[in-house]
Amino acid sequence: MTASERSTSSEHGDRLDLMAGFEPPTHEQWRKQVDQVLRRTGLLARDASAPEQPERLLETETHDGITVRPLYTHRDPHPSPGLPGLAPFTRHSRATGAVDRGWEVRQYHDDPDTDTTNREILADLEGGADSVWLRTGSAGVPVRGLGDALHGMRLDLAGLVLQPGEHYTEAAEELLRLATERDVAGEALRGNLGADPLGLHARTGEEHDPAPAVELARRCRTHLPGMHAISVDGLAYHDAGGSDAEELGCVVAAGVEYLRLLTESGVPAATAAGLLEFRLAATVDQFATVAKLRAARRLWDRVLRACGTPEHARGQHQHAVTSGAMLTRYDPWVNMLRSTVAAFAAAVGGAAAITVQPFDTPLGLPDSFSRRIARNTQALLLDEAHLGQVIDPAGGSYYVESLTDELAHTAWNWFRELEAAGGLSAALRSGRVAERLETTWQRRREALAHRTDQLTGVSEYPDPDERPLRRRPRPPEPETGGLPRRRYADDYEKLRDEAERMAELPEGRPRVFLATLGPLATHTARASFTRNLLATGGVETREAGETETADDVTAEFTASGTDLVVLCSSEELYAERAEATATALRQAGARLVLLAGPPREEPPAGVDGFVHSRSDVPRLLTEIHQQWASTTDAPRATS
């Protein structure tokens, strides 16, 4: 249809055609536009011949090795996602999604003080939470204190999910005793008893007998029809630095192992599947999180289909938790934004229950304000953004469907590796899982160091004047030989901590002199870049300001109180003044001279290295810290 025909059709029809009067753009026209933008930004040389596929220069790769392209269209093949509530359950485990009742707002509590926990639990329930996720045991509420922590909570109205560690049998017994004492029938309870011996193996490095968990699940099947018995927890693999596909593969492998144990004990596969609840991390990468939750349901359907489970019993019950690994201690207010994006993605991805971790979680035990913000984040998404009113809002997106498919294949391949190794328990025992996750963590750490993975407020745009928040410390996690708990900001925050420690010493925090060459317009871009980069390690800067000669620079340098220098200016002025200025600074006492700009094979005379957009930032800052702290000549820093 031509543009004129489209216009006529629009004028005389009942439907408004927004493309009336416009010729539809072609793929080749789009490519020409991409080519022009790449040349303007310098990603493609202006005199370079036109590449056949210029968009390839805009591709990125996930930590799973999945290529993310800048454009997805109907040409990209992917299997049909089916319908919500029907196999393969990619679009949702329920036909109505969250339209009829929303998702479950689940608040986490781990304060060992039972009075405080009780007060916060009641505040959460009164403020709109649907259920409570309670940690019990050595690092949480004592099992015997469960009644005090849950005082005033209607067990027949609000759900309860336990995080009991190795004491899951005792915690379940105490909950049942409490229900009996309060005349609450077992049929009225809903939630999860939290048994997870495989998760304990991953967290502690010690194998746990699964027999008590199986027995608990059998009892749950008979007496507690509204409760899940077993948590299939993927957070241990995520917190160790694993990728989305690795987390998925481990979770599916754990689910399969629990299915085997339960069916071998006489529980039918369809019933056994209903006793499991799957816990997955939701991150600030919203599309990856949406795809992960959709892929998880598809993979679990494939497993249960192979077990002969009827379709109605193959939907996966998912609990999404905003990632603890992505949270930061410095500029923790940004954690609110991270968690909002993650919760949004979890809702769009179809999670049945969502927990938003309070923004001050990395600092210690959250206070009432941060808990309220976490709770209200979900209230806004549910009641004002109305995310629950659309079933699978990401469905049909060419990008999301393609990413879901690729993530499912990658995770399935990792699951098959685990099965070939004898199952998840054997792979944990042999160190295969730890080795795989460590490899991914080192890649992720490298991306964080070079700031291709960015952390706002930490590796980008840090606030050097921020006033730290103080929170009550939580009980320390016991030292174990299990998978490590990591946060993406660790390397940067250790540098900030060290700078704060130095600030208490007579010499003060590390300081660098920015030798700015020329007028403000010439040096301000690189000076601003360098100031921001150095601040990520708690390093102060002093600037020369506008200068015309090397003497101007050295005069400011001698008054700066530091012998560490970064030259900042344009390439043109570097060609004219860099060597002379570096030499003059050396003569004035500079021990380290770096240059802000792209690295070159031969730096100007007197220059030790470069500060640039792909610097290994923690390494560079560590060397600056060491130079500042040393009283003798130290090895010169490079990047």
Q: Where are the chain's structural domains?
A: 3-58, 104-294+317-395, 492-629
Q: What is the mean pLDDT of residues 514-523?
A: 97
How confident is the model at residue 14, as a pLDDT?
Answer: 64
- Dump pLDDT digits (tens) for 483-500: 999 999 999 999 999 999
In this prediction, residue 167 has a pLDDT band, given cuts at 50, 70 and 90, of: very high
Can you identify the CATH homologous superfamily of domain 104-294+317-395? Methylmalonyl-CoA mutase (3.20.20.240)
Q: What is the mean pLDDT of residues 245-269?
A: 98
572-to-527, 577, 579 alpha-carbon distances in Å: 15, 9, 13
618-to-453, 496, 624 alpha-carbon distances in Å: 13, 10, 10
104-to-244, 567, 581 alpha-carbon distances in Å: 23, 55, 63
Answer left, alpha or beta for residue 594, where phi above 0 means left and psi between -120 and 50 means alpha. beta
Pairing of strands 564-568, 592-596: parallel
C-alpha torsion sign, points 460, 329, 137, 437: positive
Q: What is the mean pLDDT of residues 326-353?
A: 98
Q: What is the mean pLDDT of residues 516-538?
A: 97
In this prediction, residue 633 has a pLDDT band, given cuts at 50, 70 and 90, of: very low
How confident is the model at residue 47, as a pLDDT?
Answer: 87
Nearest to 284 by CA among 348, 332, 349, 344: 344
User: Encoding tokens for residue 20?
Assistant: 């009336």
Whether pLDDT at 635 is above 70: no
Q: What is the mean pLDDT of residues 395-404?
A: 95
Whether pLDDT at 639 is above 50: no
Average pLDDT, the chain: 94
In this structure, of 38-47, 245-254, 296-305, 576-585, the range with the lowest mean pLDDT score is: 38-47
Whole-structure pTM value:
0.93
How confident is the model at residue 76, as a pLDDT?
Answer: 85
How confident is the model at residue 632, as a pLDDT?
Answer: 38
C-alpha torsion sign, points 326, 331, 332, 338: negative
Is the domain defined by 492-629 classed in CATH 3.10.20.310? no
Give SS3 for 360: coil
440-to-241, 338, 447 alpha-carbon distances in Å: 7, 22, 11
In this prediction, residue 599 has a pLDDT band, given cuts at 50, 70 and 90, of: very high
148-to-151, 564, 583 alpha-carbon distances in Å: 5, 58, 72
Q: How far apart are CA 425 and CA 423, in angstroms?
A: 6
R_g over Cα of the chain: 29
Whether pLDDT at 275 is above 80: yes
| Peptide linkage before 618 cis (omega within 30 of 0) | no
In this prediction, residue 555 has a pLDDT band, given cuts at 50, 70 and 90, of: very high
- Dump pLDDT digits (tens) for 213-250: 999 999 999 999 999 999 999 999 999 999 999 999 99
In this prediction, residue 13 has a pLDDT band, given cuts at 50, 70 and 90, of: low
Q: What is the mean pLDDT of residues 206-211?
A: 96
Amino acid at 295: A
Residue where the block lists tokens 């460590």:
438
Whether pLDDT at 433 is above 90: yes
In this prediction, residue 211 has a pLDDT band, given cuts at 50, 70 and 90, of: very high
Residue where the block lists tokens 């949406």:
290
How confident is the model at residue 24, as a pLDDT?
Answer: 84
Q: What is the mean pLDDT of residues 67-85?
A: 91
Q: Are 284 and 341 in contact (CB under 8 A)?
A: yes
Q: Are 387 and 344 in contact (CB under 8 A)?
A: yes
